[in-house]
Amino acid sequence: MQKIIIASDHGGFNLKTTIYNHLSELGYDIEDYGCYNTDSCDYPVYAQKVANAVSTNAQMCGILVCGTGIGMSIAANKINGIRAALCSDTFSARMTRMHNNSNILCLGERVIGQGLALDIVDTWLNTGFEGGRHQKRIDMI
């Protein structure tokens, strides 16, 4: 089972905590890279920590949460080898794994509810990459 690295800024702290607890209960190997409370902080710091870890180890994937998920996805995608996908529905979560082999999932606490977020996380983690013609496209990135 892949190791999951998770992080958030203050705007995503509550959802990150919910996701962390959910994944822990399911037995995933998960590590929390921060933040650890709702005090204002800078999302690029946390996006970069997770993206750097994931980019150097193919056995890791990441989950990043901020208020909208937008800032985290932009910041994470600056790191070479990262394919961070912002998802607000399960179809997108499934397709970004199947076709884009995304290695970081980004979510917005202020955009989606906890139940949907957990469904998105579960879908993303349980969907595999199809390879084939999609690998060629990823190689082009």
Active site residues: 66, 99
Q: For residues 52 and 80, give the distance between their C-alpha atoms in angstroms, rounded to a whole number.
A: 9
Say how many C-beta atoms besides its own lie within 10 A of residue 33's C-beta: 20
20: number of CA atoms within 13 Å, CB side? 19
Is 43:9 a contact under the CB 8 Å cutoff?
yes
Contact 61, 4 (CB under 8 A): yes
